[in-house]
Amino acid sequence: MSKDKILVVEDAPDISSLLKIYFTSQGYEVMTAMRGQVALDICRKTPPNLALLDVNLPDMEGYDIGRALRQSARTRHIPIIFLTARGEKQDRIRGLGEVQAEYYIVKPFDIEEVHTIVKGALDRARQKNLAHPVTNLPTAELINEQYRQLVASTGGWALAQAHINGFETFTQAYGAVVGEDVLKFTALMLNEVINEIGGPNDFIGQMVVGPDFVMTSSPEHLKAIATRMCERFDAEIGLQYNYKDRRNGYIVVNDDQGTPRQVPLMSLSIGVLTSADGPFYDIRELSETVEDVRQHALAEARELGRKSHVSFGRAADD
């Protein structure tokens, strides 16, 4: 299982270093930022499992960081803990009320107590099943929440579902730990492409089971995002294989009868729906329809001899 990832946002080098050294020694992966904008850029690219925020920063207040995280569908699930010298009643109200932080700790602090609070917040987040255990992307109920918003929306929207073809065979050959690296690689690529092409309110989620990702955006953005994802995935996925398999363009595995067979390198199949393909009356209809379009993308790729491939709903074909 992947380590929990903590983002420490603190402009005092001694405190930042103390927190990083301590939490790293406790088995966490720790990222640090001394400025608010750097922290927000980190969260957009690689969402942490939890954010420890100071309030007084050179470029913005920690409250502004917290509000920005809460306003984005991609980061609103991240637990926030304030760790600050500002301990007045109105400061606590802003942190706990406006930002909806898990906890508000006033300096000076006992680091073991901070660890206990952090561990409790992470445990509660896991129990709510809001984030994927490997990529920390929104999952489960947060994906369903996005589906419900699309069904109820009267505006234009687009939904995509992406599946990593050949992932199960890859993990059988290379192992589950390397398979987790592929999921992280794909999640990072999705974040990069959406940050490059999409908008600040675009959503990325991952199904709890299987190598399946969900994205929502505007129709014009998501079509470009899906196409770019296929291009980048095919260009970069070879780096997850050893040199021999990468050079051959396939791996050799045994089937149920023990007969060796060649399996191509992993690829993406992506199905894209827009509001023009509707109306959709419930989230089950929406999720089943986008999966049908994704299956069509896989079938088209095989028929055309392609690797990664995108298929669009009826409206895009008209």
Domain with residue 236: its CATH number is 3.30.70.270
State mean pLDDT over 161-183. Answer: 95
The predicted pLDDT at position 1 comes to: 56
Alpha-carbon distance values, 80 to 9, 46, 73, 88, 182 (Å): 11, 16, 15, 19, 28
The predicted pLDDT at position 315 comes to: 55
With vertex at residue 165, the alpha carbon angle to CA 162 and CA 170, rounded to the nearest 5 degrees, is 130
CATH code, domain carrying 22: 3.40.50.2300
Beta-bridged to residue 159, according to DSSP, are 216, 273
- Distance, CA of 187 to CA of 184 (rounded, Å): 5
Residue 100 lies in a domain: yes
In tens, the pLDDT along 189-198 reads 999 999 999 9
For a pLDDT cut of 70, what percent of the chain falls above it?
Answer: 98
Out of 98, 128, 158, pick the residue that ends a domain: 128
Residue 275 or 303, more confident:
275
> Do 262 and 166 share a structural domain?
yes
The predicted pLDDT at position 209 comes to: 87
Residue 136 lies in a domain: no
> Do 215 and 103 share a structural domain?
no
State mean pLDDT over 208-233. Answer: 94
Residue 199 lies in a domain: yes
Out of 128, 163, 186, pick the residue that ends a domain: 128
State mean pLDDT over 246-260. Answer: 88
Token reading at 198 = 């999409």
- Distance, CA of 128 to CA of 120 (rounded, Å): 12
**pLDDT above 60 for 171:** yes
**Measured on CA atoms in the order 40, 44, 46, 52, is the torsion positive or negative?**
positive
> Do 119 and 28 share a structural domain?
yes
**Phi/psi of residue 133, nearest 5 degrees:** -65, -20
Give DSSP secondary structure letters for 49-87: SEEEE-SB-SSSBHHHHHHHHHHSTTTTTS-EEEEES--
> Do 155 and 124 share a structural domain?
no
Residue 134 lies in a domain: no
User: How many domains does the chain contain in total?
Assistant: 2
Confidence tier at 74 by pLDDT (50, 70, 90)? confident
261 lies in which domain range?
141-317
The predicted pLDDT at position 306 comes to: 82
pLDDT, the chain, mean: 92
Contact indicator for 166, 234 with CB cutoff of 8 Å = no
With vertex at residue 109, the alpha carbon angle to CA 103 and CA 111, rounded to the nearest 5 degrees, is 90
Out of 79, 107, 128, pick the residue that ends a domain: 128
